[in-house]
């Protein structure tokens, strides 16, 4: 892994290449970012379409691509470069909150919790993420489990064509392309995916606009639009194996917002609520943005309700003493 100084230099070159392409073909920063990743992932050189970008710009881009030596970068280096690029895209393109990247701190916490619960390093694990976005969360979890010894595969779905393309190119550069299958689709349609051992998703929050489709779900509301995050949890559980685990990043007020009881009523018949941990307030700009980690286990295959549901708040990550005590409590709960 490169040091911080070298990473900054690499990002400056990467940003220069993205900005050069953005200006040359007159697109948003995130579109230029996605095309840049495709260029370096599949051809190693800039592509022209109907004379754009110009021969001069193509030559400049190719020099920048070669200078960065992508083949020599580690998975972590690639992930950080893509992350820095997407952070700039959020600022430049004013990307909506549901399309933003899962922060590393949250993704690594989730990976740790999954590794503690699915603690057999010899087990082959198949994962679903039905709102994969940029793929940052999924690939951090896969890398964590893979380094431990698990053979990990995944199927990823998203209804945003640009984000799924970005995630796919990102995965190719991280050399996950043989392990992850990407599907551009509305995740609430019938899906042609294999049953999974794990569901891992940073859920988009808000209302789902297609009432005709939502009405097929138990978690839909009788009147008005239904919550997309309720529907997606139900959908992910549907495609889990019996006894499979779901790890979801959800709004802090998920349970309180279930005023009609549709989510909890559905949950009682289909899964065990094994844990819900509030993420540190310091990770969010406002109280309305605060999230929790919801841990569910699908019924069947000898799954059972834990004696004590894991409830509480994760301390500030920077408070090492409290964090160590919390992880000790978590590990005791897992045992």
Residues 101 and 87 occupy one common structural domain: no
Q: Are strands 271-278 and 291-298 parallel, antiparallel or unpaired?
A: antiparallel
Residues 32 and 159 occupy one common structural domain: no
Provide the domain count of the chain. 2
What's this model's pTM, rounded to 2 decimal places?
0.95
Residues 286 and 144 occupy one common structural domain: yes
Q: What is the pLDDT of residue 109?
A: 96
Q: What is the pLDDT of residue 97?
A: 72
Pick the last residue of a domain from 93, 108, 136. 93
Pick the last residue of a domain from 77, 93, 109. 93
For 24, half-sphere exposure in the C-beta direction (CA atoms, 13 angstrom radius) is 26
Identify whether the C-beta of residue 239 lies closer than 8 Å to the C-beta of residue 270: no
Residues 191 and 293 occupy one common structural domain: yes
Task: Indicate the helix (H) or strand (E) that contains 257.
Answer: none
Residues 63 and 189 occupy one common structural domain: no
Residues 79 and 154 occupy one common structural domain: no
CATH number, position 143: 3.40.50.150
**Percentage helix, strand, coil, to 5, in the chain?**
50, 20, 35
Q: What is the pLDDT of residue 52?
A: 93
Q: What is the pLDDT of residue 218?
A: 97
Residues 252 and 130 occupy one common structural domain: yes
Q: How far is CA 111 from the centre of its chain?
A: 11
CATH number, position 17: 1.10.150.470
Residues 252 and 143 occupy one common structural domain: yes
Of 107, 146, 185, the residue nearest 154 (C-alpha): 146
Pick the last residue of a domain from 39, 73, 93. 93
Q: What is the pLDDT along the chain (335 residues), one digit of tens a residue?
A: 667 778 899 999 999 999 999 999 999 999 999 999 999 998 889 999 999 999 999 999 999 999 999 989 999 999 999 999 999 999 999 887 777 889 899 999 999 999 999 999 999 999 999 999 999 999 999 999 999 999 999 999 999 999 999 999 999 999 998 999 999 999 999 999 999 999 999 999 999 999 999 999 999 999 999 999 999 999 999 999 999 999 999 999 999 999 899 999 999 999 999 999 999 998 888 888 899 999 999 999 999 999 999 999 999 999 999 999 999 999 999 98
Dihedral (Cα; 111, 116, 120, 122), 10-degree rounding = 20
- Taking the C-alpha atoms of residue 134 and residue 169, their distance in angstroms, rounded to an integer, is 10
Query: Which residue segment(s) compose the domain that 138 sits in?
Result: 97-334
What are φ and ψ of residue 175, in 5° steps?
Answer: 65, 35
254: helix, coil or strand? coil
Q: Please, which residues have CB within 8 angstroms of residue 319's CB and are 6 or more apart in sequence?
A: none
Q: DSSP letters of 138-206? A: HHHHHHHHHHHT--EEEEEEES-HHHHHHHHHHHHHTT-TTTEEEEES-TTS------EEEEEEE---S
């Amino acid at each position: 892994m490169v040091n911080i100084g070298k990473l900054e230099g690499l990002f400056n070159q990467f940003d220069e290449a993205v900005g050069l392409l953005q200006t040359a073909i007159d697109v948003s920063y995130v579109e230029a970012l996605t095309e840049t990743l495709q260029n370096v992932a599949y051809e190693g050189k800039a592509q022209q379409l109907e004379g754009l970008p110009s021969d001069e710009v193509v030559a400049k881009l190719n020099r920048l691509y070669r200078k960065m030596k992508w083949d020599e970068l580690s998975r972590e280096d690639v992930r950080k470069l893509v992350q820095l690029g997407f952070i700039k895209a959020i600022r430049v393109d004013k990307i909506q909150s549901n399309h933003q990247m899962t922060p590393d701190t949250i993704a690594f916490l989730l990976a740790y919790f999954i590794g503690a619960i699915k603690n057999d390093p010899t087990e082959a694990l198949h994962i679903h993420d039905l709102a994969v976005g940029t793929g940052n969360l999924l690939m951090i979890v896969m890398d964590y489990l893979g380094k431990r010894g698990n053979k990990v595969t995944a199927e990823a779905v998203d209804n945003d064509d640009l984000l799924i393309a970005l995630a796919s190119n990102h995965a190719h550069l991280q050399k996950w392309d043989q392990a992850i299958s990407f599907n551009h689709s509305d995740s609430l349609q019938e899906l042609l995916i294999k049953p999974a051992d794990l569901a891992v998703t940073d859920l988009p929050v808000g209302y789902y606009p297609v009432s005709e489709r939502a009405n097929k779900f138990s978690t839909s509301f009788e009147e008005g639009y239904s919550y997309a995050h309720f529907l997606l949890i139900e959908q992910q559980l549907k495609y889990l194996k019996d006894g499979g685990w779901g790890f979801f990043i959800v709004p802090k007020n998920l349970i309180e917002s279930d005023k009609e009881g549709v989510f909890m009523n559905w949950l009682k018949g289909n899964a065990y609520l094994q844990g819900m941990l509030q993420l540190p307030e310091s990770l969010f700009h406002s109280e309305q943005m605060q999230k929790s980690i919801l841990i569910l286990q699908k019924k069947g295959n000898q799954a059972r309700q834990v004696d004590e549901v894991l409830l509480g708040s994760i301390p500030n990550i920077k408070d090492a003493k409290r964090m160590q005590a919390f992880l000790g409590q978590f590990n005791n709960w897992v045992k």
